[in-house]
Chain A
Amino acid sequence: MDRRAFLTYNAAIAAVPLTGAALTGLSDAASAATRPPPIDFKANLPATGTFPDKWICGSSSCIDNTDPPVQVHWYNPHTAILRQNKAYSYEAPFAPLYFGNDRVLLLDEGYVQLRNDYDLRAVVDQCIEDWCRRNGRDPASLELLVAFSHLHDDHYAATNQFADRPNTRYMGLTHEEMVGFWGMTNFPEERVTLDLGGREVLIWGSPGHVVSEFAYYDSYTQILYTGDMFYRGRCYISFWEPWFDSMKRLIQFCDTHPVTHVMGCHVEISKDGEDYAYGMTYQPDEAPVQMTVQQLREAWAYAQKITEPGIYFTGTVFLCNQTRGTTTIDKNPYRY
């Protein structure tokens, strides 16, 4: 499938080879009679939504944590945000789930491999079922796209859980497959549009934390999802020049498009700017995951002054410019 065919790919067409043309015609007609009109994702933008005041954030004793393995928060009726429990993995990434009339997009998966450890697929299936029940749809008619923001295992580890799921396509674990999945030929500058069925997601390259990373903009909620390249915590910048260029692209995008929230994959910082060290499993006072465009612009202004490797606090995030290998933020807590 080439890029053009992929972008116009429709779940209804995919059903043809399975059921046969004649049957499909009948079932299409039948479902058309009962199927509610498609949801309009282009009116009254941006679609409003809410973030929770407090996410599940682990506990002082992991073994005594009774929270579910993942918190499912419905930002609005057509957008869910998943967050892994810190007692299940210290990475505890966030994962948005965007619903369109034809497809569902799962961005990032969480740091888990086995369904036995925690069943992400069942959680996603439950979300899709809930959404379909609310909107009078058939879950089998929705295609699921399993993608991730960048090529790190705390974001793609659970992909295998979806390997045998019907009507599902998932991103491959190489740079070529990732870029090809979105049909890009000119990474990272090229911006492509994914149509979820009336709901468009804009995608472009955002390397810097790693080479293979994307930024995702949902035109319905107007949330800009920046992955691990810019999030409320320690942005480990492996490659400064590409990261700088990616920031420039984000800023230029914000100049031309309305953005309600900038959202990253993790939170590693408290409300009052205290760093939660790498690996912590309890963040009782953590900052919200969503950031404003203003905070992104401040970080950009700060980044323009950076000339050397090191750790810089922009007021919102830590920019760890090529430092991870030898140093961290916290000092020796005790010296007498």
Chain B
Amino acid sequence: MFTRSQPVWGHFLAQSPTRSTGFSGSSQAATGRAYPNGNPALGYNPPGVRNTDSALPLHRTRPVTHDYACDGPAAGSLSFRWTYGSNVAAKNRDPRVQVVQYNEDTFVLRQNVCVHWEAPFTYLLFGNKGALLIDTGATANAAHYPLRETVDAIIARWVKARGRSKVPLTVALTSAEDIAQNQGLVQFADRPDTTIVPKPLALMQKTYGIANWPSGTGRIDLGDRVITVVPTPGTHKDGVSFYDPYCDLLFTGDLLFPGKINIGNDTDFVASLERLKAFAAANPVKWLLGGHIEMMFVPGKYYPRFATFKPYERVLEMTPNLIDEALEAARAVQGKDMMLIRPDFVLFNGVSPDQRTPIWPEGVPNIRAPHPF
């Protein structure tokens, strides 16, 4: 009865306009409609696999070292949505620490919004001779916010991939006074191979090697990846920013981030932004990465304090031209107790963090953001 044989069926496939091998062209690609789950008849190891450069050397005899010198910023990606809490905070089941790998040697960690509403970002950078943890989150309790455990796991994995036995860790803060960033520090108190940058201003300056505060700069050598420390008081007296010349990232902490910036001293704030501007002019900067996100993805709108559900957040990264805009805004609020809305951040100078203003910035579209409830 079934006289049609395989060639007939194959002929039909060849003519079918729906036949496709998929976007990747791979024989195992799931996007091909003809074999949505892959074609086992084609074998698991087609010739192409032998021509691929493996990321890992097969038989290592000594630790892998990276050459961190590169033209332009090192490749990296933040194309992953941040966890944003939930309507009922008690029922949130997202990870307590979200880990996003920017590139092989750069990690971005975010605290879950439902563990602490500040949801600060923490950065972990690796060099050939050491690792640097920038900031430590807003919760001290390791059961609620297992930062140390997470960092240890990342380091253990990195160390294994690089064929090492251990890597020393430096824990530095963009501001030791900032309780949204310094709480997790206690978790690292007894960690071996760990240097914690001391809190007192003079000791901190000495550790970084900053000779004249705040005009000078300091450095942290991670082994061929030397992080520059730029004094940036303004929101906090002991504020610093970190510059990574490998990824061309500037970690600005509480000073400049897409959110509600509470200025502690407006003269320092303006001076720090001027310094940052000069620094960004002298060094290539791809992005500014701050300590929090409070803005929404519509310009000038932000989440209130204590919000545990922020589904419409702006992205974390800021382009360096925002330093100029921040400087302009900072000069506008200098000497005045007021708040000022800009598309990518809001400045609060000497007013309550819950202050509101009826003044909407000119030329910025006033878009009503969706209300999640």
Residues of A whose CB lies within 8 Å of any CB of B are 60-65, 67, 69, 85, 87-90, 112-113, 117-118, 153, 157, 277-281, 325-336
Residues from chain A with Cβ under 8 Å of B306 in the complex: 90, 277-281
Residues from chain B with Cβ under 8 Å of A279 in the complex: 304-307
The answer to the question of B92 belonging to the interface, with a C-beta cut-off of 8 Å to chain A, is: yes
CA distance A280 to B89 in the complex (A): 12
Partner of A277, one of B114, B141, B354: B354
The answer to the question of B272 belonging to the interface, with a C-beta cut-off of 8 Å to chain A, is: no
CA distance A335 to B355 in the complex (A): 16
Quick one: given A61-B144, A63-B112, A336-B237, are A281 and B351 in contact (CB under 8 Å)? no
- 10 pairs of A and B residues whose beta carbons are closest in the complex: A279-B306, A62-B89, A87-B90, A328-B354, A61-B144, A63-B114, A65-B90, A62-B114, A61-B115, A336-B237
A281 in contact with B265 (CB, 8 Å): no
CA distance A277 to B306 in the complex (A): 9
- Given contact pairs A60-B116, A61-B116, A327-B352, enumerate 7 new A-B contacts (beta carbons under 8 Å): A62-B115, A63-B90, A65-B90, A157-B373, A332-B348, A332-B352, A336-B236
B358 in contact with A117 (CB, 8 Å): no
Nearest to A282 among chain B residues (CB) is B306
The answer to the question of B223 belonging to the interface, with a C-beta cut-off of 8 Å to chain A, is: no
A332 in contact with B115 (CB, 8 Å): no
Give the size range of B's interface with the partner: 35 or more
B355 in contact with A328 (CB, 8 Å): yes
The main secondary structure of chain B at its interface with chain A is: loop
Residues from chain B with Cβ under 8 Å of A89 in the complex: 88
CA distance A331 to B262 in the complex (A): 11
Residues of B whose CB lies within 8 Å of any CB of A are 87-92, 96, 112, 114-117, 139, 141, 143-145, 177, 236-237, 262, 264-265, 304-308, 348, 350-358, 373
B258 to chain A, nearest CB (A): 19
CA distance A336 to B143 in the complex (A): 33
CA distance A64 to B237 in the complex (A): 33
A130 to chain B, nearest CB (A): 24
Quick one: given A61-B115, A332-B262, are A117 and B304 in contact (CB under 8 Å)? no
Nearest to A279 among chain B residues (CB) is B306
Quick one: given A61-B115, A118-B88, are A335 and B352 in contact (CB under 8 Å)? no
B306 to chain A, nearest CB (A): 3
CA distance A12 to B196 in the complex (A): 74
Q: List 13 A-B contacts (CB under 8 A).
A: A60-B144, A61-B114, A61-B139, A63-B144, A64-B115, A65-B90, A67-B90, A279-B304, A279-B307, A326-B358, A332-B348, A334-B236, A336-B237
B308 in contact with A281 (CB, 8 Å): yes
A332 in contact with B351 (CB, 8 Å): yes
Partner of B304, one of A88, A278, A281: A278
Residues from chain B with Cβ under 8 Å of A87 in the complex: 88-90
Nearest to A118 among chain B residues (CB) is B88
Residues from chain B with Cβ under 8 Å of A325 in the complex: 356, 358
Nearest to B237 among chain A residues (CB) is A336
CA distance A210 to B24 in the complex (A): 60
Quick one: given A277-B305, A278-B304, A279-B305, are A326 and B89 in contact (CB under 8 Å)? no
Nearest to A334 among chain B residues (CB) is B264
B170 to chain A, nearest CB (A): 26
Quick one: given A325-B358, A332-B348, are A63 and B89 in contact (CB under 8 Å)? yes
Residues from chain B with Cβ under 8 Å of A64 in the complex: 115, 143-144
A68 to chain B, nearest CB (A): 10
A278 to chain B, nearest CB (A): 6
Residues from chain B with Cβ under 8 Å of A118 in the complex: 88
CA distance A130 to B77 in the complex (A): 57
B353 in contact with A117 (CB, 8 Å): no
B357 in contact with A326 (CB, 8 Å): yes
Residues from chain A with Cβ under 8 Å of B87 in the complex: 117
A326 in contact with B356 (CB, 8 Å): yes
Residues from chain A with Cβ under 8 Å of B89 in the complex: 62-63, 65, 87-88, 281
B83 to chain A, nearest CB (A): 11
CA distance A303 to B187 in the complex (A): 50
CA distance A330 to B262 in the complex (A): 13
A332 in contact with B350 (CB, 8 Å): yes
CA distance A336 to B233 in the complex (A): 10
CA distance A281 to B353 in the complex (A): 17
Partner of B265, one of A63, A326, A328, A335: A335
B125 to chain A, nearest CB (A): 27
